[in-house]
Each structure stands twice: as C-alpha cells, then as structure tokens.
Amino acid sequence: MAKEYGHYDDAAREYVITDPCTPWPWINYLGTEDFFGLISNTAGGYSFCKDAKFRRITRYRYNGVPMDAGGRYFYIKDGDTVWNPGWKPCKTPLDFYECRHGMNYTSIEGRKDGVTAKVLFFVPLMTWAEVQKLTLTNTTDKVKKLKLFSFQEWCLWNASTDMENFQRNFSTGEVEIEGSVIYHKTEYKERRNHYAYYSVNATVQGFDSDRESFLGLYNGFDAPQAVLEGKPRNSVAHGWSPIASHYLEIELKPGESRDLVFVLGYVENAQDDKWESKGVINKRMARETLSRLDTAAKVDAEFKRLCQYWDNLLQIFSVKSADERLDRTVNIWNQYQCMITFCFSRSASFFESGIGRGMGFRDSNQDLIGFVHQIPERARERIIDIASTQFADGGCYHQYQPLTKRGNDGIGGGFNDDPMWLIFGVCGYLRETGDFSILDEPVPFDNVPGSEKSLFEHLTISFDHVINNLGPHGLPLIGRADWNDCMNLNCFSNDPDESFQTTENKTEGSKAESLMIAGLFVFSGRDYVELCRHLGRNAEADRAQKYIDEMVVSVEKYGWDGEWFLRAYDYFGRKVGSKENEEGQIFIESNGWCTMAGIGLKEGLCDKALDSVKEHLDSEHGIVLNNPAFTRYYIEYGEISSYPAGYKENAGIFCHNNPWVIIGETVRGNGKAAMEYWRKICPAYIKDQTLHKVEPYVYSQMVAGKDAFRPGEGKNSWLTGTAAWNWYTITQFILGIKPTYNGLEIDPCISPDMKEYKVTRKFRGATYEIEIKNPNGATHGIKSISVNGKEITGNLIPLFEEDSFVKITAIL
C-alpha cells in the first residue's frame, strides 16, 4: 500500500494529518467573511482582511527555501530543547504530531518530553481576528518550567510592494506596545486608517517586535537567537521588519494544563477617530474585540458557534449511500471547498499569491452554483457585483478587485465566453432561490452611476453579445480566449515579455471561432429561453430560441469533424482540434459542452464524440484536455502550446472540465461511465498520496496528464472552479436532485451497482427526504415515484410550504 500521511475523520468532519512531512504543505482556510487566514499543517501561512493584496496582515515568502517558511509559530523551550507544536520551523523530532483540518479551523498538536501543546486556530464569526488557543499540559510527574515565545511577522500591508520596495519599506515600520498587546501601525499616521495587533490574555515577561533583534541577522525561523538563549530582547521596531513575539514563563505542576488565548486582529478606525492622543493610536475597537475573547471559556463558546454555523450549512444537502467516500465528498469536503472558493475566488492559496489576480468574471459565475444553496444572500450580492462590471455591449471585464469591486484595467475584457456565464450563474441562483426580484435590480455598466439597467437586461445583452460576434461559420468569435485562457488564437506573440492573455497582435479580420462557446451558448441559451418563458416573455424566448437553433445547425455543419466536435477555427479559419491537425487533434472543452447541450444527440454525434473522448483523452487519473499534446510552440495557438506536454492546459487533466464530459455521459444515460470518470478525479478516491502530492481532501485544478513526466501529480489545489463543477455534477446530474423553478426534479444517472441511497435536501424552506432505490441495477430513468406515500406522474416534486417535511421514494 502506498504511504499515507493522514486519514479522514468523518464524524468530526476533519482530515487528520499524522506526519508533518507531507509531500507539499497541506493547508486549510480560516475565516468566513472578511478576516481570513491560510494555514498549513505545520502552522505556516498568513492572514489578511478583505483583500489579500492590499490588506495583508502577516508576511509570507512564496516559493521559499525551505518551503512554507513563516507563519504562526510557538516556540517552547524546555531546558535545552526548543520545539514547536507543528514541528516546524525548528523541526525538532516530536513524540507525537497531529494536525486536524476542519471546517474553517485547524488544530495542531505536538508532544515532546512529557509536554503536550495543542493549538486551535480559527476566526470567530463576525470578527476581524484570528484566535489561537494554546493548551499546554504537563503529563509528567515533575514540575515543568517552560519558556514560551509566540511569533508573527507583520506584512507592511500591500503584499506586493512589501516584497519589492525596500528602499522605502525598511524605514516605515512602526509599532506600539501596551501590556500584552503588540500593535502594528505602519503608515497609520498618513493615509491608512487601519492597524493590526497581536495579544495574549496573560501577563508577559518580555516581548519582541523587531525581527533582527529576535532572530539575529543570520538566523532563520528555525533558530531565533532570543529563543535559543531563552531571553527576549524587549525590542521596539523602528523601520526594518516589525514582528510580534510574546515571551511567557510558564510553570506547570504534574498533570496541570494551562490555556492561553492569543489573538491576531485588525481594526479600521473612522478618519476623525484615529488617535487616542498625538501619535497614540485609538485602540478602542481592538480592546472591544479582545474583551470578547479574553478567556478560554469565551473562546470555546465562539468555537461552538462556528461549528454550529457549519452544521447548518451542511444540513442543506446530504447523502447516505453504501460508499463512504462518496458521502464524505458530498457531505463535507466538496461543499467546504465550494465555500472556500466563494470566499477567495482564485486569489490566495499556495499556488495563487493573493497579489496577482482579482476575482474572475467567469470564475465567480461558475463558483456560484457551488454555494448558492448555502448562502443565497451572498450569492445575490456577488451576482450584482459581477454584473456591475459588465460593459454596455455585453462584454465584460475579465476580472475585478474585491476591495473596490471595479474591473481590472490591466486585463480588460474581450474573453468572449464571459457574458454567457452570467446567464449560467443567474439561472442557477434563480432555480435555487426562486428570488425573481433580483432580475429587476438596477445594475450599472462598468460601475458607472447613472448607467443602470435591470439585471434581466444584462442577461439579454449577454446573450446578444454572442450573436453580435459571430464568425464566418456562424460560430462565436473567440476574442482573446474562451474558457481556456491559454487558447489565444489572436495573440501571435513572439515576444517573451508580452502577456499571452492581454496581447492581441492580430485581430483585424480574425476568423477565430470557438466551439466551446457555441456549446455554452446552446446550453445556457436554453436556460435563458426557459427563464423568459417562465416570466411570460414569450416573444423574447422565441427570438432567442431562433438563434439557438441556428447555432445548433452551424455546429452540426461546421463544428463536426467526423468522430468528434472540432475545438475551434483559428485566425485564418483553419480547423483546430481536427484529425487533420498534426497535434491537438481532439479537445475536451468542445466535446464536453456540445454533448452537455445534446447537440446532434439524435443523430448519434454525442455518442461518437463521447466514445472518442474515451478513446483519446481518458487516462488512469482522469480525462486530459487535448491529445496529442503540443510538443512545440504554435504561434497561432498561444499559451496552450507553451506548456510542456501533459501540464496545465496542454494535455493536463483539468479537473474543472472533466465534469463537462461526465454531464455529457449523463445526457446519453451512461451512469456507469459518468461515475467512473467522477471517481478518477475525486480526491476521496486518491490511491497514492505521495504521487498526488497536494491535499487529498480537496480538488486540485490540474493533475498531470498521461503525456507528463509524472502523470497523476496534482497542482493548484483548492481555488478552482473544479469544486463547483463537481458539486453541480454529482448532486444534480449523478445523484440527480435538480432544483428547478417549479420544484425539485429527480433524475439520477448512476452506476448500475449503486443499489440505493438517500438524499436529504432543504429547498425553499422545506425538507425533502429522498430515497432512491435501484433494485434492478439500472443507470437512469425513474420508473415510479411517490411523494408522502402518493404516486405522482413525472419526476418533478412540486414546491411545498416552508417547514414541511416531504418524503419521497423513487424507483429506478
């Protein structure tokens, strides 16, 4: 059996890491609203409030040596031995180590020479602070005298300039120290109205706030001079690199335990309320937060609230089947990952620096379908934010910055799939909530006041953006790129200093068209038509349907390559993703979307396309993006051909778009194939954790494909549309519980060996307990269905009143 570094504890909803030397830092996320933290299994990581770039609280070094240096460290000096509960940074061998990553909390426990140190990290609900509750226990029969040092390093707020502008930074750092609280107030005296603080609920015997004094200039985090000598320097930082370290002398009798509460917090003051007196920051709000968290009992109560919050979120959808891996994916980790992706989009992970990317337009719309059932109000707000960055012609800013909610000029627009994702996201929201009032909300263009049109009109112009931008084959022009950011058909770059995604060296007369957008247009265009009909806007529905029918004809006529759907036409109007091509003959995106949309289903095109996917793209670890992989740079394709074969968009297994094929398989009723594909990429089924490398409890964006040097190696874990797409796929298309405007549709498509399962689903205020029985080993097609004991015709469970309990039995 392959080596395992940990295991699931489903009852506690935790992943338990038992070996600190994981093949890559295995991280978790703290915080649900504004204050966030990333924490690795050895307590590495960083914190920020609201915006990972502009309001970075603690410093982090990316891609450092050794990996994952810097974080929330506690140093325990017991005689001559110095150790950390999370093993790092000292790496003193521990007698016991365990890290439990749970729902927005992490607890790390280390034991050494009869002392147990357990730290619980979490961000209490509605609080701008991270709590670190440290419990020290003496398990020996002798008195233990310990020296404890805490440690955090402040980031000078802007995570980007913090790493580059040293001629300024090394002179700006400022702190204030009052009792057991170290305040970080760099730049507060000028334009900032925020500061951070780090406290402990006990009297300290010393402190440090200057990094060099604490560490010694030539030492690393693994050997701070102050700790090694057991003597704090009581340093006050002036410029250079401010830190926060408390020093406590702790005596523990045999068997005694002591709790200490450390709080890392953030405050914003009103402009006219910034100061207590000249040069002294106004600490009122920090004190208020600290008074809410100054005892272990108060902290425990907050922790309970957080756990209850998660109980409630996870009650909305749960499944019980014979397969515990399926259950834990659906009931715990997939939903959790969707929520994290909602909070962070693609900004801050161990693969995203938090300074590079804002929120993606298409990304955020796709993420919506993963969390709308849990936090519909926030989904509503997100939709309005996203739609407000749309341009009047229906095009969209590709990204926006969460702090300002404005589109990012650096990237701009021109990604021609973006508009359709708004329809996709909004319809997902409406089906879940039935909140049609959102369609009347006035929403501006490019955030310009006075330009508002209703959200419904935004959907119309989104739809029209596609039909106003058709190419010579009647297929959608691709613009800078479609879903595949790296398929840059108008880029033509020979200059390594140009960005593939923002450069368009040839656009004039471009014939570059996308079959992926065509499939998306048919699929989500039908959503638009259905919505119009539901609203009684029949003329608009008819108008839209006509364009969809025309698109289907164009795809069948110009988008079919004989055995599969083409991927695109390039700038010159030549086929991409055709057997005529030298490399990149078949792609996942167009075959996924066109089969999802059922284009040519009756004529057998979907069957052929899916069989071709199986033959050419399937592999042991999942479906690769294209085949054969590109082995040289194609200037007419751009970034996709820049990657080595088997990585990222060049024939990597993009876990994000595997679900498109899986849904395609459900369209043709092949539940066996659908579930086989789903299991291949689902983390709960990973066989070799060392090979997979990244966290085994969440999806990663990419797993190296069959042409790669190390097929099966995962990268870019956590922040990926993969979470939402797999959630959508497993719950709606495989388990088959689909929210619709008029009720819940029951339409499973499963493996024939799945004999029964039960889903509990809260929907529009009522609770539905749905039992699916499959006595004859079918894959799809409900034979009979009863609602509260009464047979119904069809498979739509109508809406029930709030608080009703509805029992459904469906037989396949």
Footprint on this chain of ligand BGC (rule: CB under 6 A): 346, 360, 362-363, 483-486, 649
Strand 766-773 vs strand 805-811: parallel, antiparallel, or unpaired? parallel
CA–CA gap between residue 533 and residue 536 (Å, rounded): 5
Cβ at position 676, least distance to ligand BGC in Å: 24
Cβ at position 777, least distance to ligand BGC in Å: 37
Contact by Cβ (8 Å): 26, 8: no
Contact by Cβ (8 Å): 402, 344: no
Cβ at position 563, least distance to ligand BGC in Å: 25
CA–CA gap between residue 85 and residue 141 (Å, rounded): 21
Helical packing angle, 418-433 and 361-371, nearest 10°: 20
Nearer to ligand BGC, 118 or 346 (CB): 346
Cβ at position 359, least distance to ligand BGC in Å: 10
Cβ at position 716, least distance to ligand BGC in Å: 7
Cβ at position 253, least distance to ligand BGC in Å: 54
DSSP character string of 155-205: EEE-TTGGGT-HHHHHHH-BEEEETTEEEE-TTTTTT--EEEEEEESS--S
Nearer to ligand BGC, 147 or 398 (CB): 398
Helical packing angle, 376-387 and 455-467, nearest 10°: 50
Residue 94 buriedness (CB in 10 A; 0-12 / 13-18 / 19+):
buried
User: In residues, how long is the chain?
Assistant: 812
Q: What is the dihedral of CA 79, 85, 87, 90, to 10 degrees?
A: -40
Nearer to ligand BGC, 577 or 600 (CB): 577
Cβ at position 649, least distance to ligand BGC in Å: 5
Q: Which two tokens stand for residue 485?
A: 């950011």
Enclosing H/E stretch for 415:
none
Cβ at position 417, least distance to ligand BGC in Å: 8
Q: Which residues contact 443 (CB under 8 A, 6 or more apart)?
A: 384, 387, 388, 390, 452, 453, 454, 455, 458
Q: Which two tokens stand for residue 116?
A: 């147990």
Q: What number of CA atoms fall less than 13 Å from residue 74's CA on the CB side? A: 26
CA–CA gap between residue 561 and residue 685 (Å, rounded): 35
Max Cα–Cα distance, the chain, nearest Å:
84
CA–CA gap between residue 178 and residue 260 (Å, rounded): 18
Q: Which residues contact 57 (CB under 8 A, 6 or more apart)?
A: 46, 47, 48, 49, 154, 155, 184, 196, 264, 266
Enclosing H/E stretch for 273:
none
CA–CA gap between residue 528 and residue 663 (Å, rounded): 19
Which of 68, 259, 485, 618 is the catalytic position? 485
Of 90, 104, 137, 92, the residue nearest 118 (C-alpha)? 137
DSSP character string of 68-82: S--B-EEEEEETTEE
Cβ at position 31, least distance to ligand BGC in Å: 21
Residue nearest to ligand BGC (CB): 485
Of 424, 418, 465, 459, the residue nearest 441 (C-alpha)? 459
Contact by Cβ (8 Å): 194, 55: yes
Report the SS3 class of residue 517.
helix
CA angle 483, 485, 487 (to 5 degrees): 95
DSSP character string of 474-496: SSBB-BT-SSSTT--TTT----T
Cβ at position 485, least distance to ligand BGC in Å: 4
- The three-state DSSP-derived secondary structure of 28-45 is EEECCCCEEEEEECCCEE
Cβ at position 347, least distance to ligand BGC in Å: 11
CA–chain centroid gap for 764, Å, is 26
Cβ at position 486, least distance to ligand BGC in Å: 5
Q: Which two tokens stand for residue 177?
A: 């120290």
* Catalytic residue list contains 485: yes
Nearer to ligand BGC, 75 or 421 (CB): 421
Radius of gyration of the chain (CA): 28
Nearer to ligand BGC, 346 or 668 (CB): 346
Residues in a beta bridge with 331? none
- Active site residue ranges: 485
